[in-house]
Amino acid sequence: MGLIKKVKKNFSSIFKHLFKKKTAKIGIYGPPNAGKTTLANRIIRDWTGDAMGAVSNVPHETRRARRREGVTIESNGSKVTLDIVDTPGLATKVDFHEFMAHGLEEEEAKRRAKEATEGIIEAVKWLDDLDGVILVMDATEDPFTQVNVTVIGNMEARKLPILIAANKIDLPESSPARIRSAFPQHPLVPISALEGQNIDTLYEEIADHFG
């Protein structure tokens, strides 16, 4: 290695050490029902013993962003402390009829729809206040949703790191390869947040990527 390169590397390492944030604020983003809260629960349970929030098959179960501070993840000799923000599912539309199809009464469905719209606004606002994003995609679905494109576009515009969690690989129709070919510029880990499949690889990537 040349002298200039060495000096540059050492300087960069000292600079990083001096000015590195103690904790990184990481948002868990994705469309409704991609498994964001299931993943947040797993991470927090694995590293703190607690849970983040309730999960269900009804879309927009999470309608308020929730933050858990000081979650320390250690993997392969790397250690990172994160503030984890579990965000409501992003969407461009909220139709109360969708909730009625899941068995909710009309009034309850309308109330839930209203809360869901507020949750989406909150999720969008959080984008301004993060150091990185874990983007959870449902590996059984088309990856080119507008939500994925918008979240990736925003993080890229801010030059912030993104880690894609291709979730639901426990389902036979899942295809993480489809997501990888759609967004080849970002690291991707195929996981099942529900079953815990490949979750240690995700922790390695988190420690490496956000540390």
Partner 1 sequence: MDLISEEKMANMTAMEKIRLILDGVKEGKIIVLEKGLTPTEEAKLIEMTMTEITPEDFPGIEIESYPSSHNQKLIDRIFRKPAVRTRLTVIGPANQLKTLKKDRDLISALVSSQ
The region, left, alpha or beta by phi > 0 then psi within -120 to 50, assigned to residue 122 is alpha
Residue of the chain from 102, 125, 177, 187 that contacts partner 1 (CB under 8 A)? 125
Q: Per-residue b/e over 23-45, b at no fewer than 16 CB within 10 Å?
A: ebbbbbbbbbbbbbbbbbbbbbe
CB 127 within 8 A of CB 162: no
For partner 1, how many residues bind (rule: CB under 8 A)?
30
Which amino acid, 29?
Y
Residue of the chain from 4, 157, 172, 173 that contacts partner 1 (CB under 8 A)? 157
Tokens of 31: 């469309």
Residue of the chain from 29, 47, 96, 210 that contacts partner 1 (CB under 8 A)? 96
Q: How far apart are CA 24 and CA 69, in angstroms?
A: 10
Residue of the chain from 73, 80, 85, 90 that contacts partner 1 (CB under 8 A)? 90
Q: CA 204: distance to chain centroid?
A: 15
Beta bridge partners of residue 121, listed in sequence order: none
CB nearer to partner 1: pick between 56 and 92: 92
Q: How far apart are CA 50 and CA 48, in angstroms?
A: 6
Is 80 a residue that touches partner 1 (CB under 8 A)? no
Kindly indicate which of the ranges 37-45, 59-67, 71-79, 124-132 contains the residues binding partner 1, using the contact rule CB under 8 A.
124-132
CB nearer to partner 1: pick between 30 and 44: 30
Is 133 a residue that touches partner 1 (CB under 8 A)? no
- Least Å from the CB of residue 184 to partner 1: 10
Is 48 a residue that touches partner 1 (CB under 8 A)? no
CB nearer to partner 1: pick between 22 and 93: 93
- Least Å from the CB of residue 208 to partner 1: 23
Whole-number Cα distances in Å, 9 to 21, 46, 159, 192: 19, 35, 21, 38
Residues that bind partner 1 (CB under 8 A): 90-96, 110, 113-114, 117-118, 120-121, 124-125, 127, 142, 144-146, 149-150, 152-154, 156-157, 182-183
